[in-house]
Amino acid sequence: LTNAAIKELVGTQAAELVQSGMTIGIGTGTTMEWMIRALGKKVNSGLEIRAVSTSQASNELAAQFNIPLIELNDAAKIQLAIDGADEIDPQLQLIKGGGGALFQEKMVAAAAEEFVVIADDTKLVDQLGAYPLPVEVMIFNWKQVDKQLAKLIGKPQQLRLKKDGSPFMTDHGNYIIDISFGVIENPDALNQALHDIPGVIETGLFLGMAGKALIGYPDGQTEWIE
Ligand code: DER
């Protein structure tokens, strides 16, 4: 199977987890696009749900498929949140944020009773860190934050840029710094050290949050990692 077909496989399979009456969290990214598509078909066949989105992009896709959206603040309870990931380690610790939606993704995942990750097998790693860690920072003081990061990491970092060379801006009007650690020996300690820096809004380290992950493989097999 191509990578896109694997994403479609796990996205479609994950949509089957959604039961009528649920309020769900819908994540962001190309794997989630397949899940949203499949969920839209179920909604059109009568599935009654409400969804809390994690990005403007997912809002638009969900609206296209008539999936009823509500704001996070209006969700009394979120039974299940489903999202993709950029890296998944054996303890289901994640790096997320490749799509730039990590702040809202983490809020929705944290609010959910159960958080399920869906991914193709290329996301599986033994240790986090090969994928640059996204850190969301405020625009007005990001250089101050970068000075602190340089102390922590040993060198100044770069803002994530758009194709036209201007800084990428998140749905919440913030910037993102992507930090290439190579290997993150202690994700918990790093996450804490980053959150201790004034001005760091959120990191792409999702630790102890995912309950299980549905992984798809080129041979068409899927497996649950718990
Ligand atoms: O940005 C994100 O956190 C996305 O969920 C990302 O981690 C997965 O994106 P993909 O499904 O397009 O690979």
pLDDT of the residue at 205: 98
Which residues carry out catalysis? 105
pLDDT of the residue at 201: 97
Instruction: Please give the distance, rounded to the nearest whole angstrom, from the Cα atom of residue 63 to the centre of ligand 1.
Output: 20
- Phi, psi dihedral angles at 117 (to 5 degrees): -105, 140
Task: Give this prediction's pTM.
Answer: 0.97
pLDDT tens-digit map of 65-75: 999 999 999 99
Q: Is 25 in the pocket of ligand 1 (CB under 6 A)?
A: no
For ligand 1, atom 5, name the residue with the nearest CA: 84
Q: Does 98 carry a binding-site annotation?
A: yes
Query: Strands of 94-95's sheet, edge to edge?
Result: 87-88, 94-95, 205-206
* Integer Cα distance of 134 and 146 in angstroms: 13
pLDDT of the residue at 154: 86
Which ligand 1 atom sits closest to the C-alpha of 28? 5
Query: Strands of 133-137's sheet, edge to edge?
Result: 175-179, 133-137, 200-203
Alpha carbon of 178 to those of 6, 78, 115, 136: distances in Å? 27, 30, 24, 9
Q: Does 173 carry a binding-site annotation?
A: no
ipTM score for this prediction: 0.97
pLDDT tens-digit map of 81-137: 999 999 999 999 999 999 999 999 999 999 999 999 999 999 999 999 999 999 999
Name the pLDDT band for 156 (thresholds 50, 70, 90).
Answer: confident
Q: Is 83 in the pocket of ligand 1 (CB under 6 A)?
A: yes
Residues constituting the chain: 226
pLDDT tens-digit map of 38-96: 999 999 999 999 999 999 999 999 999 999 999 999 999 999 999 999 999 999 999 99
Q: Does 155 carry a binding-site annotation?
A: no
